[in-house]
Amino acid sequence: MDTIGRQVTAFVTLFMVIALIVLMYGIFEPQRRVAAAQQQKSSSIERGAELFAANCAVCHGPEGKGIAGAGFPLNTTQNHNGDAKRQAYLQTTISDGKLNVTGKLPVMPMWSEANNGPLNDQMIGDLVNFITYGDWTEVPALLIKAGTPVAALPTPPGLGTPIPSEVAAQYQGSGSSSAAPPPAAGSDPGAALFQTKGCVTCHTISPEYPSGGQVGPNLSTIASKSKIPDTNPTLPVTPDGLKTWIRDPQKIAPGTVMPSFGTDQISDQEMDELTKWLLTHK
């Protein structure tokens, strides 16, 4: 082979080697990036679990199961693998806090730095990732590691005392109220009470609130049931049976996360309207 021929061969070989490298890079780089993103997400979930153990377990329970009268359960099907809308709701609620539906302490604190809270947006994002994708059974072990085993968790602060007016005032006009579902269509006072008293955060009831919470049972056909509640079916589904349940669920189903609604929360007249409306759902 002459010199030119050898040069051409060398050039072609070099070109093919470079092409191969570029091709391999093209094939493996996206995989590498996906792996890096997954790694980043799993460390975010880990950080979220630690933040939850340190800041949230006291009111929402060590495994996110909720504590009656304090924090709602967070280990719900609605939150698990929640879509972008649900995750945005979690981010807003954690940032801006929330008054307690029972009208008593504790309230959900405002956590974001924008609200003079202790957590930055990334930390709140880590919490949202943990609530959406994490493993709740990890929290008790983290609590032990931090020196506060589950048994040593204090009672939620202020549990059961009326919300002081200066605390309530802080929540006026905060973003949290806009996260509440819109008022029901129609003008039935019972339907309005179901929303304003916070039942809708835990219960779905069609047709008025088809996208309510899923912490408690769906109430769309409540009037067709023979007895309530599911875990201890002893009360008849009548105005009085419902009233007994709503006033003091702990008495019938000890440990349930459904809070009690005393007369300071729902007046007797409102209770009549609410139960009458519930009983129209057959």
Q: At 95, list the tokens.
A: 């940032």
Q: Closest approach of Cβ 281 to ligand HEC, in Å?
A: 10
108 lines the binding site for ligand HEC (CB under 6 A): yes
Between the CA of residue 35 and those of 40, 42, 132, 144, 234, what are the distances in Å?
Answer: 9, 11, 20, 31, 53
Q: How far is the CB of 158 from ligand HEC (least distance, A)?
A: 8
Q: Which two tokens stand for residue 277?
A: 């409306």
Q: Check binding of 143 to ligand HEC (CB under 6 A).
A: no
Omega cis (within 30) before 106: yes
Choice between 71 and 134, CB closer to ligand HEC:
71
* Closest by CA position to 246, among listed 271, 225, 227, 222: 271
Q: Which amino acid is at 59?
A: C
Distance of closest approach, residue 39 Cβ to ligand HEC, in angstroms: 23
Cβ-contact 178, 97 below 8 angstroms: no
CB of 144 vs ligand HEC, minimal distance in Å: 19
- Residue from the set 202, 208, 212, 243 that interacts with ligand HEC by CB under 6 A: 202
* Other CB atoms within 10 Å distance of the CB of residue 89: 15
Does residue number 199 form part of the binding site for ligand HEC (CB under 6 A)? yes
Nearer to ligand HEC, 9 or 231 (CB): 231
Site size toward ligand HEC (CB under 6 A) is 50
Residue 143 burial class via C-beta count within 10 angstroms: exposed 0-12, middle 13-18, buried 19 and up: buried
Structure tokens at 186: 């129609």
Site residues for ligand HEC per CB under 6 A: 55-56, 58-60, 70-72, 74, 90, 93-94, 98, 100-101, 106-109, 111, 127, 156-157, 197-199, 201-203, 213, 215-217, 219, 222, 225, 228-231, 242, 245-246, 253, 256-259, 261, 274
